[in-house]
Every structure is written in C-alpha cells, then in structure tokens.
Structure 1
Amino acid sequence: MNDPVYRMIGDATRGGIVAVCDHASNHVPAELDLGVSAKTLKKHVAYDIGAAGVTERLARRHNIGAMLANVSRLVIDLHREEDAPGLIPATTDGILVPGNIGADKDKRLDDFYRPYHRRMSEWLEQVQPGLILSIHSFTPQLESKQDEERPWEIGLLYNDDDQAARHAIRLFSELGCKVGDNEPYSGREFNATMNRHAEAIGRPYCAIEIRNDLIAEERGQARWAAIIADVAGRVKVALQTG
C-alpha cells in the first residue's frame, strides 16, 4: 500500500483554527477490488461530495490549516470507531460492496485507519488549535428514502460538548441559513473523529454538515467556505471571551 492516506494543506497557526475532512476522497487503492461501479464511486456513499473543495478553500483562502483523507469511506470509514459495525461497509444506503465481504479488517485498519488517526493526533498535539472544524456533507435525500427530504442547508453536530456548536448555530441562523441542530444526523451517534480528537481532550470543535447540492460546484464551495470561515472566527472569539 503506497498511496498516501491523508494530505495536509496550508500552515496551521498554533492556537488558531484548523479543519479536518474525513470523507474528502472517493479514491480506492489499486490493490483493492471493491466490486462497485465507477458510477457508485461518484455517489455520496463513496465520499462527501463537495467537502474537500470547501476544506481546500478554507486552507488556501482563509488561512485555516487542513488535513484531508485520501481514501474512500467504502474502503474504510475513518469517521467511525474501530469496532463500529459500518467501519468496512458490505452494504451502504442499499448498495452492495462485494469486495468488503470477508475483508481483512486488521489490514485495513493498519494500512489506512490507524496511520490517519495517528497523524491527526500528532498534528493536533503540535498545533493545539483553538477550534477544530470537521467538514462533511449530506444528501438532500437518502438513496433508500427518496421521500424523506432534508431541508437544512447546514447542520452542527455534537455529542456531549455543544458549546462551540451553540454559538455556530446562532451565528449561521443570524446569516439567514437554515441550520440543523444535531441534524441531519445526531452527533451523539456519529461523532467518532471529534469524540476522539476533540471531546476526549477538551478541544473546542464544530462538526459541520453542508447539504451537498449547495457545494457540488466550485462557486458554492467558495461561498460556503467564506461563510464558515467568518462564523468560525466569531465562534473562536466567543469561546475565548465567554
């Protein structure tokens, strides 16, 4: 396995704001045959559409150093606990992933998951950020539940620590955004990376979900990166003064 598991963009400022993107890529290493079509790899089940573009712009245009994953969540979901049932999905949103049936879990953990999280731990320990942004995207509807619409433009997820999220929800709302409070997913169920690298260590964070039709193109990615950077800066000030 020679493909890099992650990439770093920009220079993180000690005590500043950083961003992470667990589902940035739909890349499947050449040595793995998942048995899925090229069409499937372009779907949300393979990666968070638009999330990498937003994160790259946060790094390059808004001076927010970033770490992005370089492997599809169909290979291994970096945003799950090691013992989570969906870590190496055999099916996802009604789509079969034949190459994951009977997969060597320990090898996938050693090749992809553990190096990614080890580097993130080292990086965050060096930077000691004042705020972590965890950037994800969500679909307007699930493939398997097309009749259930998700009206939010952006959502803030949290588990036990909702302090930064509360500030962000208020600030996004004041900008006229339709904001989900622990929607479209609950951070009490899906918050693995921030549970590990933020909540467990007492680091402030905003786990952000953006509806992917809003960031599928570069214009939308630039717009939402600017909005998020603005809100994140004000959240950090609020945390420091409040």
Structure 2
Amino acid sequence: MLLLCDHASNTVPEGVDLGVDARLLDLHIALDIGAGALTEALAGMLDAPAVIGTVSRLVIDLNRAPEQAGLVPLASDGHAIPGNVAADIPDRLTRFHAPYHAAIEAAIEAGQPVLIAAIHSFTPALEQGGPPRPWEIGILSNTDRRAAEPALALFADAGVIVGDNEPYSGRTLNATLDRHGEGRGIASLSIEVRNDLIDTSAGVAKWAAIIAPILTALRNGLAPEPPPAT
C-alpha cells in the first residue's frame, strides 16, 4: 500500500508572505492537525511508504487540481489570507504542487500499490459555527468504492463512530486520489480522523493501532490472488 498526507505541514516557505498572524498557522486552516504524525506512525507499523506534504495548505492546497477553486485560498474558515490576493500561482505550482505529485507518481511506479490511503483530519466543528461533527473517523471516496465500502464495515465492527463521505464528500474534494488512485485504476480512500482525537502523541498511538490492522485487511482483500502452484 501507499500512504499519503497532503496537509501534514504548516510550513510557509521562504519568499511567501501570507500576511496573517502567526497564530493562525497552528489552526486547522493551515494543516490537518495530527495527520502527519499519524501517517508516520502508520508507515512505521505497516512498513509502508508514505508521501507527506511539506507546505501549508494556506500556501497551496496539494489536494486540489491546478485549475480548482481554492488552490491558493483567499480566505479559510472566516480568516482572510491577504498575501494570497496577488500570489504568483504558477510559481507556487512549480515549487510545491508539482514536486509533491511527482513524488506520488514515483512512489506508485516503484511500489505498484493495490491500495492508496490518504490520511487527513477534521475539526469537531467549524470555527465560524455549524453543527458538531460526531464522527470519530470519516471515510471519503469518489466513484471507486472498492476500498471505502469494506473500510466502513471494518471500522464499524471495531466500534468506531464512522461516517460515509462525512464531514464532507470525496465526490467534491478528492483531487489527489482522483488523479493518482481512480485515475490509475488503483483502489483508494481518504481516512479522516477528528483532530481532537490525534492532537497528542497518545492519541496518535491509539488511533494508529486501530487503523493499521484495518488498512492491512483492506490491502489483503484487494491484492490479486497468487497464481496456482504448478
């Protein structure tokens, strides 16, 4: 399998000025809190390769297509990002977006995975208001449901409060997996973990221990049958 984490980092590279208070970089608008650490823990437990983003989504959202709205956000969850108004988007695509997706392509060519799992996190509620999000994990997918359907069942069997395309839908925000999973015919899913569950090292360890065997079961169920012995 191959693990991905688009939104692991809140890093703002040299030469980029977002024009925001530094405290905003510790919020979910800048990174998926806990997702990077969880991805690294899973990679170690599963002995699986991982491609992890190293730039804040306020600089450029690695999980959006180059032509997609919100690629370089002008605002996020009610916070203006004034430095992005005159951003050099082609430069950011060249410096950050293209290398990340090239690294994913190289990892796929090297490992030939039967499963790609993208690790994300979500907030218990939007900062600017909205209903609480009760799910512990959300499974996101687009039209290819080969991994999502069994994942939903496996998490439910493990006693996890799991949502199907919650708290938002993979049919609308799924650019990385649309390109590298569905676009290549590889089974894929996003695993969204509520970020208050993985904002400590103990939380990361707990949820890695829950998720790892489920990913193993998914991979094994998707792996091609070996040829019969002769």
TM-score by length of 1: 0.90
Contact 1:167–1:238 (8 Å) recurs in 2? no
Counterpart of 1:61, as a letter, is M
Residues 56-75 of structure 1: matches in 2 within 5 Å? Answer: 56-75=40-59
What is the aligned partner in structure 2 of residue 226 from structure 1? Answer: 209
SS of corresponding position for 2:62: coil
1:235 equivalent to 2:218? Answer yes
Stretch moving more, 178-187 or 122-131: 122-131
How many Å separate the matches in 1 of 2:58 and 2:4? 19
Q: How high is the sequence identity, in percent, across the aligned residues? A: 49
Within 2, Cα distance between the matches of 1:187 and 1:116? 20
1:203 matches 2:186: yes
**1:165 corresponds to 2:148:** yes
Task: Report the counterpart of residue 26 of structure 1 in structure 2.
Answer: 10
- Within the candidate set 46, 59, 78, 1:94 is matched to 78
For residue 187 of structure 1, the aligned residue among 153, 158, 170 is 170
Q: Which residue of 1 aligns with 2:117?
A: 133
Q: State the alpha-carbon separation in 2 of the partners of residues 199 and 67 from structure 1.
A: 18
Question: Which residue pairs with 1:122 in the alignment?
Answer: 106
Contact (CA 8 Å) 2:42, 2:212: kept in 1 or not? Answer: yes
Partner SS for 2:183: helix
Name the amino acid aligned to 2:68.
A
Superposed structure 1 runs of 4+ greater than 6 Å apart? none
1:149 to 132, 150, 156: 132
- 1:213 is matched with which residue: 188, 191, 196? 196
Deviates more, 1:230-239 or 1:72-81: 230-239
User: 3-state DSSP class of the match of 2:209?
Assistant: helix
Letter in 2 for 1:31: G
Equivalent position amino acid for 2:172 in 1: E
Cα deviation code 1:107-138 (max 9, x no counterpart): 11111101111121121112111211100000
CA distance in 1: counterparts of 2:224 and 2:112, whole angstroms: 18
* In structure 2, C-alpha distance between the alignment counterparts of 1:33 and 1:64, rounded to whole Å: 35
**Structure 1 residue identity aligned to 2:97:** Y
Distance 1:228 1:85 in 2: 32
State the alpha-carbon separation in 2 of the partners of residues 208 and 158 from structure 1.
9
> What's the offset of the Cα at 1:241?
7.3
Alpha-carbon distance between aligned partners in 2 of 1:53 and 1:18, rounded to the nearest angstrom? 16
Give 1:102 deviation, angstroms.
1.5
Unaligned runs of 5+ in 2: 226-230
Q: Distance in 2 between matches of 1:162 and 1:60?
A: 26
SS of the residue aligned with 1:180?
strand
User: Which residue, out of 27, 30, 33, partners 1:43?
Assistant: 27
Residues 185-238 of structure 1: per-residue CA shift (max 9 Å, x gap): 100001000000000111011211000000000011111112111001111222
1:14 corresponds to: none
Query: CA–CA distance in 1 between the matches of 2:205 and 2:88?
Result: 39
The residue that corresponds to 2:228 in the other structure is none
How many residue pairs get aligned? The number is 225
2:180 aligned partner, one-letter code = H
SS at match of 1:163: coil
Question: One-letter code of the match for 1:87?
Answer: L
**Root-mean-square deviation over aligned CA pairs:** 1.2
